[in-house]
Structure 1
């Protein structure tokens, strides 16, 4: 895995991690702290943010700051006002999302309520987060957004997850085109299954998967502007065997 290195100099850089208390978010937060960043970890629960502080207490040399805020809230101006206290950001990571009900449901059996709930939690929230965080980034900064590989393939009996991932991919791609190189760099990472603490706790783990900390190290390189993929707006990190790609693996 030559494209994901352990050491990325993020000393003096400030990075917001949205969704920092989730399994992927906490791993990415640890990796960014170990690369020296000041990480502003956001989440909707003070209790879960306190748990993150305890989990990350030995991580460093970076500094962890927590801020209770819902970056997916419709009031983007309020979100920006709260986070503007940290100055122009060098990076932002958006690791929010919702798999919806664990029940496998076919498209024809999906209710309007389930549809609206998934659109709100796994698409509209990302639109709000992009709208809130992008203007906070410095011109030389980078936004790193995560979507699942279900954006690329049929996803029977979980089609709403795939549909919202595909829509998020399109949304971020359009944002990149609209900025046209005049604003912060935008990177859409299309990811496969990721090794996280919650998944390991239920026995869902594989050495062939990227870990959440792998994603954090890669995001750190993108934010630092270091490495072979800093000019690639769309990247695929599906399995370790495939590595980091700019086209979907077959």
Structure 2
């Protein structure tokens, strides 16, 4: 029997990288997946690939900075499949740089996508989880919040804020209805560096990702491990990084 048969999972930031890998893996394990991102053509193509492999997939155009979009994602998932078992908050950006650059616009963008986007997901999914009597919130955080490097202060702050929200939601959910999992990747071979504003930082990060980064599938397997647990088991936090990463 497929390990996730009957589960319905919505995934933000699913047009590539960790989000795409997670959608493909969970679908292979039997889940119905809804891919959410801004790039319609890309998520439509991935969903079609999954269906061609006899998986169950749909796509929904979503900008996570807009609360209405997250509500629409959750409601359309419920309309299509009857419920939403898991919401994976994966969308994120990293236009990092030294604080001395005073790049307020990019600070705001990271807050809007990385933190507010996750909170919009909580606001959309939590009432449905409560109504169903069960639900699982998974967020892709970062080891950048565990050891803050130069140029990453604001990015790390947004990720640590997400980690804090998760712990708060866990503390409020001791009735067993809502489970939470924060997954913190290290270097992963994705296009995250494309969102980095500083060209020198962007190039250095790309080289590091190419040299030691793990594949997105490694993080997808961590997501699968967390959501495959029985309802009375919560995997609160997982760190996934290359063995070569300091």
TM-score range, shorter chain: 0.7 to 0.9
The structure-2 alpha-carbon separation of the partners of 1:78 and 1:9, relative to structure 1 and needing over 3 Å to count, comes to: closer
For CA contacts below 8 A with separation 6 or more, give which structure has more relative contact order: 1
1:12 Cα deviation after fit: 1.9
Q: Deviations over 1:185-210 (max 9, x none)?
A: 111111111234888xx77335x654
1:29 Cα deviation after fit: 0.9
* 2:127 is aligned with 1:135: yes
Equivalent position to 1:68, from 61, 72, 83: 61
Q: Which runs of 5+ in 2 are unaligned?
A: 194-205
**Given that residues 193 and 210 in structure 1 are in contact (C-alpha distance below 8 angstroms), is that contact kept between their aligned partners in structure 2?**
yes
The TM-score normalised by the length of structure 1 is 0.78
Whole-Å separation in 1 of the counterparts to 2:175 and 2:49: 37
**Given that residues 8 and 84 in structure 2 are in contact (C-alpha distance below 8 angstroms), is that contact kept between their aligned partners in structure 1?**
yes
Q: Which moved more, 1:179-188 or 1:190-199?
A: 190-199
* 2:92 is aligned with 1:106: no
Question: What value does the CA root-mean-square deviation take over the aligned residues?
Answer: 3.0
Residue correspondences, number: 229
Whole-Å separation in 2 of the counterparts to 1:196 and 1:22: 8
Whole-Å separation in 2 of the counterparts to 1:56 and 1:78: 22
More strand by share: 1
* 2:82 is aligned with 1:87: yes
The structure-2 alpha-carbon separation of the partners of 1:131 and 1:198, relative to structure 1 and needing over 3 Å to count, comes to: closer
Whole-Å separation in 1 of the counterparts to 2:192 and 2:100: 31
Q: Deviations over 1:54-84 (max 9, x none)?
A: 5545545x31111223344223544543333
* 2:143 is aligned with 1:149: yes
Name the SS for the 2:221 alignment partner.
Answer: helix
Whole-Å separation in 1 of the counterparts to 2:191 and 2:2: 23
Name the SS for the 2:177 alignment partner.
Answer: coil
Whole-Å separation in 2 of the counterparts to 1:205 and 1:17: 25
The TM-score normalised by the length of structure 2 is 0.79
